[in-house]
């Protein structure tokens, strides 16, 4: 066996980081810089639901746990990276999870990361945030039934984009043009195919299962593997979520030989 190595499953954070459609822009200012003060000090204004992050139950469920109330062991443990390739607007279903488990079995209390391949489109573009595949209600029910510890997805949210306010839910539709595009391309109505508002957010977080969104980084190196996963939040009192550094630990000999992911904001 080789030595244990860490694989970054996080997208980068910084100025002009790609954002979900209704968030205010990230603002990073230098309060001190070397020509001015001889040191560098920066201030950051950001929503915590940016880049790779963990949602806390209080994000979607009134009266549920805030970040500081979630035990640290919920963010750490044994897990699997399930390979479930998906295309534009496709749902991830319970049947997909069962099939993926034939190759990479899931055990009770596992962390489950879903790799659809959509992470390669991460950037400031409509394809990643508005046209992605995503979890369907039956997938959320599957996670609860199988008593997993945590779930991570390599797309924009724990729910399919048309199960969110991008579609006709909550404060939406914030992008009615995308709803019209879906109906034009499929011949079906968004309301019929995606009737619930964020069913997976509510099923996952409402049953004590942690959720990570925008998983990425070098995930291609660990697809289909059993690994140890850790993705801790900042110690934010009354927090609704937190940007995290999500990492997989794996034996060096088990790594898949693919190039490191190189990022440039605004592109894939």
- Kindly report whether the peptide bond that precedes residue 155 is cis, defined as omega within 30 degrees of 0: no
Length reported for the chain: 268
Asked whether 150 and 188 are in contact (CB, 8 A), the reply is no
Q: What is the pLDDT of residue 265?
A: 60
- For domain 4-12+49-159+198-254, the CATH class is alpha beta
Q: What is the pLDDT along the chain (268 residues), one digit of tens a residue?
A: 689 999 999 999 999 899 999 899 999 999 999 999 999 999 999 999 999 999 999 999 999 999 999 999 999 999 999 999 999 999 999 999 999 999 999 999 999 999 999 999 999 999 999 999 999 999 999 999 999 999 999 999 999 999 999 999 999 999 999 999 999 999 999 999 999 999 999 999 999 999 999 999 999 999 999 999 999 999 999 999 999 999 999 999 999 999 998 887 654 4
Q: Which of 229, 231, 227 is nearest to 251 (CA)?
A: 227
Asked whether 232 and 72 are in contact (CB, 8 A), the reply is yes
φ/ψ of residue 114, rounded to 5: -95, 125
Domain ranges for the chain: 4-12+49-159+198-254
Asked whether 159 and 200 are in contact (CB, 8 A), the reply is yes
Spatial separation of the C-alpha atoms in residues 60 and 64, rounded to whole Å: 8
Beta bridge partners of 227: 79
Q: Which of 98, 95, 97, 132 is nearest to 113 (CA)?
A: 97
Q: How far is CA 217 from CA 50, 91, 144, 154, 207, in A?
A: 14, 23, 27, 10, 28
Q: Are strands 53-55 and 41-45 parallel, antiparallel or unpaired?
A: unpaired
């Amino acid at each position: 066996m080789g030595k244990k190595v860490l694989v970054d499953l996080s997208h980068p954070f910084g100025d002009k980081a790609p954002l979900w459609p209704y968030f205010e822009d990230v603002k990073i200012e230098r309060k001190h810089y070397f020509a001015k003060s001889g040191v560098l000090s920066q201030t950051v204004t950001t929503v915590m639901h940016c880049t790779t992050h963990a949602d806390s139950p209080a994000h979607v469920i009134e009266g549920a746990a805030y970040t500081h109330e979630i035990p640290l062991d919920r963010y750490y443990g044994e897990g699997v990276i399930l390979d479930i390739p998906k295309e534009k607007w496709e749902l991830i279903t319970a049947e997909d999870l069962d099939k993926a488990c034939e190759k990479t079995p899931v055990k009770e209390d596992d962390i489950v990361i879903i790799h659809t391949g959509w992470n390669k489109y991460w950037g400031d573009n409509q394809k990643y945030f508005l046209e992605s595949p995503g979890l369907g209600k039956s997938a959320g029910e599957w996670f609860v039934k199988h008593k997993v510890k945590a779930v991570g997805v390599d797309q924009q949210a724990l729910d399919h984009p048309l199960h969110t306010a991008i579609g006709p839910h909550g404060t939406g539709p914030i992008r009615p043009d995308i709803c019209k595009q879906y109906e034009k391309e499929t011949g079906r109505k968004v309301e019929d195919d995606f009737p619930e508002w964020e069913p997976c957010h509510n099923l996952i977080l409402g049953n004590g299962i942690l959720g990570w969104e925008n998983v990425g980084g070098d995930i291609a190196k660990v697809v289909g593997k059993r690994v140890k996963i850790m993705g801790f939040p900042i110690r934010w009192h009354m927090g609704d979520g937190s940007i995290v550094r999500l990492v997989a630990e794996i034996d060096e000999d088990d790594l898949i030989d693919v190039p490191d992911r190189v990022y440039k904001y605004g592109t894939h």
